[in-house]
Amino acid sequence: MRCHLCLNISWHPLCKNCLNTILIPNPTKRILKNGLVVYSSYRYEDIKNLLHKKHTYHGAKIFAQLTKHALLPLVKTFTCKDVYSLPIDDHTRSGYSHSAIIAQELRKYIKPLFGKLRAKNRIRYSGKSLHVREQNTRDFMITCKENLDVILIDDIVTTGNTLCEASSTCKAHNLNVLFALTLANTQK
Ligand SMILES: [Zn+2]
């Protein structure tokens, strides 16, 4: 196949050269209004063209490659013994769940709890105003065991409202949320 960025022949959707030149991780640490810390690997602006392909077969592969390239090295620096990852709403709405792909790629270091944190409200936030986002909370439901140390996983942190809500739901379920991980952060 051809690399999605440079169009050179490549075994993977993103070639090694692009990963090591254009897609160098640019990690950020963001603290949300409820105190939750979010670590992200990229600025949204830097990878938005790739994220737009996320609902396609190659999009899923790209997500996996970016996670391995940029998020995995970050996770390796944490001590994650007996820590679980909770991918946010890993529902395969359009064929691929982005948070589940990320959690799957990190499984060697953080054990994923798939399908345990589900949103009852599935309105799509993409392109919606802040007002609409705030009026429509996700209304999460948790079905895992209590008293676990967890890391929340999502593809992008935008307003942070979804992560804040997920973290409150976790706390109400006696889960200890250590922090959150996303591939991209929209904050400049
Ligand atoms: Zn390339």
Residue 132's pLDDT band (boundaries 50, 70, 90)? Answer: low
Q: Which residues pair with 151 in a beta bridge?
A: 85, 179
Longest dimension (CA), the chain: 50
pLDDT in tens, 138-158: 788 899 899 999 999 999 999
Whole-model pTM? 0.90
- Tell me the CA–centroid distance for residue 23 and ligand 1, in Å: 10
Confidence at 97, pLDDT banded by 50, 70, 90: confident
Q: How far is the CA of 57 from the centre of ligand 1 (A)?
A: 18
Question: Which domains are delineated in the chain?
Answer: 26-185 (3.40.50)
pLDDT at 33: 95
CA 42 to centroid of ligand 1, rounded, Å:
18
Closest CA to 184 of 165, 156, 164: 156
Expressed in angstroms and rounded, the spacing between residue 16 Cα and the centre of ligand 1 is 7
Question: Coil, strand, or helix at residue 28?
Answer: strand
Distance 21 CA to ligand 1 centre (A): 9
Gap between the Cα atoms of 23 and 125, Å rounded: 26
Least Cα distance to 140 among 164, 112, 113 occurs for 164
Distance 83 CA to ligand 1 centre (A): 35
Measured in Å, residue 2 CA sits from the centre of ligand 1 at 8
Q: Which of 55-59, 91-95, 146-150, 184-188 has the lowest mean pLDDT?
A: 91-95
Q: Is 49 helix (H, G, I), strand (E, B) or coil?
A: helix
Q: Rounded to the nearest whole angstrom, what is the distance from the C-alpha of residue 15 to the centroid of ligand 1? A: 4
Over residues 131-139, the mean pLDDT reads: 71
